[in-house]
Every structure is written in structure tokens, then in C-alpha cells.
Amino acid sequence: DIQMTQSPPSLSASLGDKVTITCQASQNINKYIAWYQQKPGKAPRLLIRYTSTLESGTPSRFSGSGSGRDYSFSISNVESEDIASYYCLQYVNLPRTFGGGTKLELK
Amino acid sequence: QVTLKESGPGMLQPSKTLSLTCSFSGFSLSTSGMVVSWIRQPSGKSLEWLAAIDWDGDKYYNPSLKSRLTVSKNTSNTQVFLKITSVDIADTATYYCARDTTGIPTPFDYWGQGVMVTVSS
């Protein structure tokens, strides 16, 4: 199985800040990483696929980058609606595996 | 419009078999490349992919749980089922079904709302 090590587990930000979350895979995942946003009591929502491709409806303040084993996800100009948990997912191999999650809170 | 919805017993006792149903619309599981997966999430924890079934009836399981899982679909390709045998407290979680595809790797794009399952005596 491919292990996805996501950090940090939690993040405190002020409105307007830029925040970055990282995921490191245990092996090369060839850019097949997605990022999800999850709000309490809701299903995860797909924001970004294939490292940096924004889904329809994903605001442009969200971005992703990386290659090989190392990937990052950023939110520039954090807004109140961005307060949520975020998860990375590798989908190059079965079993699909998720990172441990990052909880974004307001400072 | 793609929608998925999970249903299940809500609560069951340890050692019993958990049966879950995913009912979906807006796509057909008979379409080449389509896949429906099951994913679970214990409260406050991360997500774990459990199993999947594709348009051709091929089944895929998480090796860590394979011996306890059975995924299947109905003949009209509108529902997918998951059975987990010998449940224990560690199986308490919200269970989601989600759409996926085979061929070119794709992430789970549409998810159900989730069904909460509690294992308790």
C-alpha cells in the first residue's frame, strides 16, 4: 500500500492568510493526487485532481503542486468558508489511500 | 445530475454482519469504466477506502479487510452493496459510497451523504 503522510494535522490561520498543506507519498505517485475539503457532517468535496487541476467551481485561491513523492496544497487569502478539514488522496494504485487530514481553524 | 445515497442499519451488535446499500442515479454502472467504491470514516479520523466494483463486475478490496468484505451490485446496475462480517467497535464509522472510474486513474468525484453506523452491544 502507498502511505500518504500529510502535515500539519492542524493549522490556525487568520482571514486573508496563505496556508500550505503537504502530502508525501511512500513512493512515486506520478502526480495522481487529489485534494478534498470536508466540512462537519458532510461528505468530502473534490477540489483538485491530478496535482493541480481545479474542479469546476473550485475558487482560484486554491492551488496544488508537486511531483514524484512530494505534493502541496495551498489556499491564498483564506476566507471564512474555507474553515474545514482537508485530505489528500493518491489514486495511482489500489488500495486508494488518504492522508491523515489537516484541520484548518481560524486564529 | 449524479447522486448517490447510502443506507444501512444505523446500529448493530458486535459479531453481526453489516449490510449497506448505495443507491445512485445520473450514471449507469453498466457504462464501460464506471466504478462505485465504498469508503469509511470513523468520527474525527481520516478516510479509508474499503472496496469497489466496476462496470464489468470485477471486485476490488482493501487487503487489510478483504476477508470480511463482500461487494456486489444489482442486475439493473442502480445499486451497489457492501457486507462486512464479524463487525466490532472499530467498525463504527460513517460509510460513504463514491463514483470512480477504471482506465485512466481518476479520483472519487461524486460522493453520497454518508450513513453512520454504530457497533455496540
Question: Which residues of chain B are at the A interface, by a Cβ-Cβ cutoff of 8 Å?
Answer: 37, 45-49, 52, 60, 62-64, 96, 105-109, 111-114
Counts of helices then strands in chain A (DSSP H, E):
0, 11
Distance of CA B41 to the CA centre of its chain: 11
Give the per-residue pLDDT at A70. 98
pLDDT tens digits, one per residue of A32-44: 999 999 999 999 9
Give the per-residue pLDDT at B103. 81
On average, the pLDDT of chain A sits at 97
pLDDT tens digits, one per residue of B8-61: 999 999 999 999 999 999 999 999 999 999 999 999 999 999 999 999 999 999
User: Which cell numbers in the block locate residue A37?
Assistant: 475539503
Residues ≥6 apart with Cβ < 8 Å to B13? B119, B120, B121
CB A50 within 8 A of CB A31: yes
Residue B114: C-alpha distances to residues A6, B10, B80 (Å) = 24, 11, 14
CB contact under 8 A, A49 and B106: yes
Distance in angstroms (rounded) separating the CA atoms of residues B69 and B55: 19
The secondary structure of B5-59, three-state, reads EEECCCEECCCCCEEEEEEEECCCCCCCCEEEEEEEECCCCCCEEEEEEECCCCE
Per-residue pLDDT averaged across B68-85, rounded? 96
CB contact under 8 A, B46 and A101: yes
Per-residue pLDDT averaged across A65-90, rounded? 97
CB A103 within 8 A of CB B46: no
Distance in angstroms (rounded) separating the CA atoms of residues B35 and B24: 12
Phi and psi at A104, nearest 5°, equal -95, 125
CB contact under 8 A, B108 and A89: yes
Predicted confidence band of residue B102 (pLDDT cuts 50, 70, 90): confident
Distance in angstroms (rounded) separating the CA atoms of residues A91 and B121: 36
Predicted confidence band of residue B104 (pLDDT cuts 50, 70, 90): confident
Predicted confidence band of residue A89 (pLDDT cuts 50, 70, 90): very high
At which residue does the C-alpha cell 490561520 appear?
A13
Q: What torsion, rounded to 10 degrees, do the Cα atoms A2, B94, B57, A91 define? A: -30
Interface A-B: count of C-beta contacts within 8 A = 51
